[in-house]
Structure 1
Amino acid sequence: MAFNPADHPHNRYNPLRGEWVLVCPHRGKRPWAGQIEKVREAAIPRHDPKNPLCPGNVRANGEVNPHYVHTHVFTNDFPALMPDTPAPPESDDPLFQMQPARGTCKVMCYHPHSDLHYANMELSDIHLVIEEWLRQYQELGRKFLWVQIMENRGDMMGCSNPHPHCQIWSSEFFPNEPRIKHENLKAYHEKYKKPLLQDYLEKELNRGERIVYQNKEWVVLVPFWAFWPFETMVLPRRQTQRMSDLDEEQKKHLAVMLKEFTSKYDNLFDCAFPYSMGFHGAPTGEQFEVDMPFWTLHAVYYPPLLRSATVKKFKAAYELLAQDQRDISPELAALRLREQPTTRITK
């Protein structure tokens, strides 16, 4: 029997993590009798006087938001990281190790209106979001080793507030996920003398089968090693190490990408598509001015939806106990996303 990647189980290697993903495309044909999620049905008001992220409203700590008209950034009222946390005692026992965890956590509101997101925002407003990302990244990057710009969208991803916003966590330590990528990107560059992700992008563009969206400066694709059903990666056409390296053309086309690509997500299952996303680039802090040619700035989107707006992918027993596994081929996921319009369709 000849191997068919659209039907037969197989493993795929993730060079960013040095791990394997089990692809079982035939399982996508099985009937679903599992949990069905509820979709938020109520329309989101433009301004909610009880929403702590809206302009002019009182937050949990008693502070009042300014009547902002574009973006607004403040230190999280319940931060996971703080800059003045005391260091734990040192231990000579290899099984009981701790280290300091200092940093800061910020919340960034994209827009004063709660009923907007990239797909229905003006490009000029999205451009202001990107500019604020860069300001925060540069300011925090001078102080901290890692600056994580990230967004959770939707109840299904644990987002407790529908107002368009992201979080920016900065830390003195190197978090696990980017640290693992750092090691693998460096090893690939030492062996092949090329940035892994730029080499990968060139090969994906030649193949075309996993490309979802592209414009003059950016490409969105479903990674060959993707775990989440409609996982995607955003890559710059030109080698770029950090967000602070973006030029005006890249920023302009990043705004277009955010609007048009997220419209594809929303159109796929006719819903406000939930996801967790974030940017990864070369570490900052004292390394901010250090050239790291093996690092390529990129964004990753991890959406939980599998079959519809109400059926999600669970990370269940096999994934937790053995290795990551997916039920739809990356090629089919890319095709379905690629076919979606770049303008959000609302009923």
Structure 2
Amino acid sequence: MSRSGTGSEQRQPESEVDATPATFRPSEHQHIRYNPLQDEWVLVSAHRMKRPWQGQVEPQLLPTVPRHDPLNPLCPGARRANGEVNPHYSGTYLFDNDFPALQPDAPSPGPSDHPLFRAEAAQGVCKVMCFHPWSDVTLPLMSIPEIRAVVDEWASVTEELGAQYPWVQIFENKGAMMGCSNPHPHCQVWASSFLPNVPQQEERSQRAYQSQHGEPLLMEYARQELLRKERLVLTSEHWIVLVPFWAVWPFQTLMLPRRHVRRLPELTPAERDDLASIMKKLLTKYDNLFETSFPYSMGSHGASQWAGAPTGPEAGANWDHWQLHAHYYPPLLRSATVRKFMVGYEMLAQAQRDLTPEQAAEKLRALPEVHYRLGQDRETTAIA
């Protein structure tokens, strides 16, 4: 048969004949990873870290924050927007948010006249919790007993509000970069009459995994990460911290108890002590990464106690598929002034990250557990 034919004997181009398949390297070749907890995918494109950055550079943080400012509404003794005066608190302080996103007595919008225009009632309460009376400290600069007091307050407010509402969300936005308008160390607690989108998806995923495999998803995941080790950041007697395989934010971490725990109030005194210790170590590493007060959003997820379930209609159901966990989402990517933007492709297609979770974990693992400011600022309350 003629070589000029179009059959399989036709000679292939030189480049195709000599080409050999490339060996996949996560740090060099883009790929997508599955998040089984939230049933979504993330695009990993670590080679993009090589590109020059000519985008926005964040301003440097103020060198100092006043320890006490009588005009700061979160400080002890300060007057808030509603006219109330804060007590001269010396530890944690919990109060009703003066500008709540949820209120307990909001009326229902009533039935919808079309399935494309659905609206439902939303009631709840919003609280603010100050961690410390001083404005110039953050969690990594607080002592372990002071952090333990925060953990106890988290458990207490979860118990209290969880008896009234299906979902209690504790979250901390740290730093102006993450939308925090006040530098005083604090978090927020929102309790709602509905199960929000992310916990709703985590509920479905954890329930489906337990049904299929006979054990909680995050228990098996923690066991696998302890075996593989490449994404571990910190381990202790009762807790592990890792960069999840499916992480979206550059130095995102997941904090998990070693035993099966559904809710914060279930933690033993020893587990609470250990949680305070490992939180201090993780947040110290974050600050040490770029020697700045590291911004992040964090929040804990666990089954609520209300009717024994996160959702009212499922009252009395078995919620052992839930495993308590905390997410940390920090935006910084290259330095203290260059962050990851979730725009464009992330908003219109799916999440994308610029370094592998393994690279991020390695960087965090190697950082010291002593805060870089120790020795620079002797007046903080930080202790080992």
Partner of 1:293: 320
Moved more, 155-164 or 118-127: 118-127
The answer to whether structure 1 residue 213 and structure 2 residue 234 are counterparts is yes
Partner of 2:353: 326
Q: Which amino acid aligns with 2:145?
A: S
Query: C-alpha distance in 2, partners of 1:268/1:42?
Result: 17
Which one of the candidate residues 225, 228, 232 is aligned to 2:249?
228
Partner of 2:379: none
Partner of 1:343: 370
Q: Is the 8 A contact 1:147 1:168 kept in 2?
A: yes
Partner of 1:259: 280
Q: Which amino acid aligns with 2:180?
A: C
Query: C-alpha distance in 1, partners of 2:334/2:149?
Result: 34
Cα drift, residue 258 of structure 1: 1.3
Query: C-alpha distance in 1, partners of 2:49/2:196?
Result: 34
Partner of 1:146: 167
Partner of 1:85: 106
- Name the CA shift for 1:11/1:2 in 2 (closer, same or farther; >3 Å): same
Cα drift, residue 118 of structure 1: 1.6
Alignment of 1:173-184 (within 5 A): 173-184=194-205
Which one of the candidate residues 20, 31, 36 is aligned to 2:57?
36
The answer to whether structure 1 residue 302 and structure 2 residue 312 are counterparts is no
Query: C-alpha distance in 2, partners of 1:50/1:172?
Result: 34
Q: Is the 8 A contact 1:145 1:287 kept in 2?
A: no
Partner of 1:5: 26
Q: Give me the identity figure in percent.
A: 53
Query: C-alpha distance in 1, partners of 2:60/2:223?
Result: 38
Alignment of 1:238-257 (within 5 A): 238-257=259-278
Q: Which amino acid aligns with 1:341?
A: P
Query: C-alpha distance in 2, partners of 1:151/1:119?
Result: 14
Cα drift, residue 45 of structure 1: 1.4
Q: Which amino acid aligns with 1:331?
A: E
Which one of the candidate residues 173, 198, 206 is aligned to 2:219?
198
Alignment of 1:82-121 (within 5 A): 82-121=103-142
Query: C-alpha distance in 2, partners of 1:123/1:46?
Result: 20
Which one of the candidate residues 44, 61, 64 is aligned to 1:23?
44
Partner of 2:312: none
Query: Structure 1, residues 34-81: CA drift from partner, whole Å, max 9, x if none?
Result: 100012223011111111000000001100000011111100000000
Q: Between Structure 1 and Structure 2, whose CA radius of gyration is higher?
A: 2
Partner of 1:170: 191
Partner SS state of residue 191, structure 2:
strand
Give the total of aligned pairs: 347
Query: C-alpha distance in 2, partners of 1:138/1:188?
Result: 27
Query: C-alpha distance in 1, partners of 2:327/2:78?
Result: 32
Partner SS state of residue 105, structure 2:
coil
Partner of 1:274: 295
Query: C-alpha distance in 2, partners of 1:237/1:286?
Result: 26
Query: C-alpha distance in 2, partners of 1:170/1:149?
Result: 9
Moved more, 291-300 or 153-162: 291-300
Partner of 1:122: 143
Q: Which amino acid aligns with 1:115?
A: D
Query: Structure 1, residues 14-42: CA drift from partner, whole Å, max 9, x if none?
Result: 00111110000111111111100012223
Query: C-alpha distance in 2, partners of 1:283/1:126?
Result: 23
Query: C-alpha distance in 2, partners of 1:337/1:290?
Result: 39
Partner SS state of residue 307, structure 1:
strand
The gaps in structure 2 that reach 5 residues or longer are 1-21, 310-315, 377-384
Q: Which amino acid aligns with 2:325?
A: H
Query: Structure 1, residues 288-332: CA drift from partner, whole Å, max 9, x if none?
Result: 576411100000000010100000100111111111100100000
Cα drift, residue 342 of structure 1: 1.1
Partner SS state of residue 272, structure 1:
coil
Q: Which amino acid aligns with 2:322?
A: W
Q: Is the 8 A contact 1:304 1:312 kept in 2?
A: yes
Partner SS state of residue 263, structure 1:
helix
Query: C-alpha distance in 1, partners of 2:143/2:347?
Result: 41
Query: C-alpha distance in 2, partners of 1:21/1:225?
Result: 7
Query: C-alpha distance in 1, partners of 2:107/2:168?
Result: 21
Query: C-alpha distance in 1, partners of 2:372/2:216?
Result: 38
Cα drift, residue 287 of structure 1: 2.3
The answer to whether structure 1 residue 63 and structure 2 residue 90 are counterparts is no
TM-score of the two chains, using structure 2 as the length reference: 0.89
TM-score of the two chains, using structure 1 as the length reference: 0.98
Cα drift, residue 149 of structure 1: 0.5
Partner of 2:313: none
Query: Structure 1, residues 76-112: CA drift from partner, whole Å, max 9, x if none?
Result: 0000000000000211411000001100000000011
Q: Which amino acid aligns with 1:219?
A: I
Query: C-alpha distance in 2, partners of 1:68/1:216?
Result: 33
